[in-house]
Structure 1
């Protein structure tokens, strides 16, 4: 078993994905160098790692995944088969948070539930620029076409659902519909928070999702116009294969886990890899997470977005997070050492 595992690890080391930065810095550390490593719940991290292990195709990843059930200790599994690798591209580390919104909604429109969640119309192709948000909302281009998945009670929460790209809609009977990203109208995203700052309504440090939501509710006519400042419009699809009590699907098409899944830049961090997070600032985090998601704003070797869960409380926590620190990716041993320059070996 050990000989076969070692052979697979060596074979897999030749299959390293190219790192998409000019001469990134690569440093291999020891587990004793990881602040808080001894205190983490490695068993919880291993369970999340195993959720996406079947999707890792390279021989070295398949080998470590196959070996996981044979270890009595999750901590020893990581320490014996991986090495922590610090990859830096010259940019400071930055941790943010994201969450899955939960909206109140209905399968049918009512006086309360009057904002439709739309599926993508068939004439909208991939990458094609279609009507803007303002044009969709003012011309009724989607009305009466049977594209409504549900109706929700808050236009601003629907707007932020479109930004997040997925969420749950809680129905009056207590059941829920999960929706995921189903396409977009091809227009670029414009920040309405930045627009409020540009107008002098708020200073940059004052803007948050809750502040925007409250301002729109206090100023309904101006609020509707503000939301239309962002021409991008996201369509949805029902995600019925994922039970509502589980996390949403990440980039690996598997449910992600609260405070154990992280979105990364796959140009530097392989999807499915364990990632050691040392987030500083308020409420420091020292935890082994798994790279199971990506995001259009998540670019760079030391850039990560931590998943905080579902609902308003998760949203508040995620929205407050903009902190420094450092992130290390745990790679199979031979894969880790193959990243070093020859002069170091």
Structure 2
């Protein structure tokens, strides 16, 4: 059943990241994982396989080849991996994100008048470019043919940019699927935090719907609020992803609701299985796969859970801000190789 074990273990052994030199690393047993025996490991194995073969790393290739042959996910993970707890001194924080679906059109009109832009060709990755105010008020992108579509709500457009991917439900019929196409390099300013700072709301009152309603009731102040966020995200059209599949993550493969998680790749290798123990109002323990990243996801115990597509997923994702514990599953010799020398 597990042919090639010797070859697999012989090729595994170097640390995942130099930043681990300053981390607190502990190798656990599977008995230490709360709820491990109750999870659907076969389902997690399927998600792991979605991106495993994209790991261009000789240390992972034998593991991926073996994974494709397995019909017992739990046994597979227990035989070939060890749970590794990596801590950097910061408190754990688990949030969630989603794939928005908003209304729009391929044609500009009085109803659909907010453009969704492709990245301008002169913008190089990593550059700090024009701010949102300069783009929207200065008209820097108008008339250049960079519009993918137009949408009807500027708040929905900003949340689409914050999530970095989404779908536009077209008035003409059909949808356009969008992936992250780049940014102007400015730091994100949270609209909710700004309303709290201004004393408009308390922190626990703020949600996307609350912000949306406030902007509609206060058009002038609302426009100023939207412009005060200097960050601006551009998109690309995704044409080869089935409608029943999730958006593309950082590994350019579809991610899976409740099984894919965004991590900080300085601490957790993309493609690695991770065991997540989320506390809070609706706690759960689940085997997930690190298949995405995010500009706000920084730290060894920081993760963003993909919650699904559409309004309901967005509403639920916005309620998640919990503590807990994340444990990365590493191939056996790699797990022991990253332990600091005594």
Q: TM-score range by the shorter chain?
A: over 0.9
Q: Given the two structures, how large is their TM-score scaled by the length of structure 1?
A: 0.94
Per-residue Cα deviation, 1:122-167 (whole angstroms, up to 9, x for no partner) = 2333333333212222232222221110111111000111111111
- Could you tell me how far 1:21 is from its partner in structure 2? 4.8
SS in 1 for 2:257: coil
Cα distance in 2 for partners of 1:317, 1:181 equals 22
Per-residue Cα deviation, 1:256-286 (whole angstroms, up to 9, x for no partner) = 0000000011111111000001001111111
Could you tell me which residue of structure 2 aligns to residue 175 of structure 1?
174
Could you tell me which residue of structure 1 aligns to residue 92 of structure 2?
93
**Alpha-carbon distance change, 22 to 342 in structure 1, aligned in 2, over 3 angstroms:** closer
Could you tell me which residue of structure 1 aligns to residue 7 of structure 2?
7
- Does residue 309 of structure 1 match 2:305? no
- Could you tell me how far 1:72 is from its partner in structure 2? 2.7
**Alpha-carbon distance change, 9 to 121 in structure 1, aligned in 2, over 3 angstroms:** same
SS in 1 for 2:62: helix
- Could you tell me how far 1:105 is from its partner in structure 2? 1.1
Cα distance in 1 for partners of 2:136, 2:298 equals 32
Cα distance in 1 for partners of 2:29, 2:91 equals 22
**Alpha-carbon distance change, 101 to 273 in structure 1, aligned in 2, over 3 angstroms:** same
Could you tell me which residue of structure 2 aligns to residue 337 of structure 1?
336
Q: How does 1:86-165 map to 2 (within 5 A)?
A: 86-165=85-164
**Alpha-carbon distance change, 234 to 341 in structure 1, aligned in 2, over 3 angstroms:** closer
- Could you tell me how far 1:174 is from its partner in structure 2? 4.3
Which deviates the most, 231-240 or 96-105?
Answer: 231-240
SS in 1 for 2:162: helix
SS in 2 for 1:96: strand
Question: What is the number of residues matched between the two proteins?
Answer: 342
In the alignment, is the contact (CA less than 8 A) between 2:111 and 2:152 conserved in 1? yes
Could you tell me which residue of structure 1 aligns to residue 244 of structure 2?
245
**Alpha-carbon distance change, 3 to 107 in structure 1, aligned in 2, over 3 angstroms:** closer
Q: Which runs of 5+ in 2 are unaligned?
A: none
In the alignment, is the contact (CA less than 8 A) between 2:167 and 2:176 conserved in 1? yes
Could you tell me which residue of structure 1 aligns to residue 322 of structure 2?
323
- Could you tell me how far 1:339 is from its partner in structure 2? 2.0
Cα distance in 2 for partners of 1:30, 1:129 equals 45
In the alignment, is the contact (CA less than 8 A) between 1:277 and 1:288 conserved in 2? yes
**Alpha-carbon distance change, 90 to 127 in structure 1, aligned in 2, over 3 angstroms:** closer
Cα distance in 2 for partners of 1:238, 1:95 equals 29
Which deviates the most, 24-33 or 269-278?
Answer: 24-33
Q: How does 1:206-221 map to 2 (within 5 A)?
A: 206-221=205-220
Per-residue Cα deviation, 1:200-231 (whole angstroms, up to 9, x for no partner) = 11122322222211211111121111100111
Over aligned residue pairs, what C-alpha RMSD do you find? Answer: 1.7
Per-residue Cα deviation, 1:61-116 (whole angstroms, up to 9, x for no partner) = 11111111333311111111111111111112110001111111111123322211
Per-residue Cα deviation, 1:318-337 (whole angstroms, up to 9, x for no partner) = 11111011010111111111
SS in 1 for 2:220: helix
Per-residue Cα deviation, 1:217-256 (whole angstroms, up to 9, x for no partner) = 1111211111001112111111112223311111111110
Cα distance in 1 for partners of 2:64, 2:20 equals 28
Runs of 4 or more off by more than 6 Å in structure 1? Answer: none
SS in 2 for 1:59: coil
Q: Which runs of 5+ in 1 are unaligned?
A: none
Cα distance in 2 for partners of 1:186, 1:101 equals 22
Cα distance in 2 for partners of 1:19, 1:315 equals 35
Which deviates the most, 323-332 or 180-189?
Answer: 180-189
Cα distance in 1 for partners of 2:94, 2:49 equals 24
Cα distance in 1 for partners of 2:8, 2:242 equals 35
SS in 2 for 1:301: coil
**Alpha-carbon distance change, 128 to 88 in structure 1, aligned in 2, over 3 angstroms:** closer
Cα distance in 1 for partners of 2:127, 2:337 equals 41
In the alignment, is the contact (CA less than 8 A) between 2:3 and 2:66 conserved in 1? no
Which deviates the most, 60-69 or 274-283?
Answer: 60-69
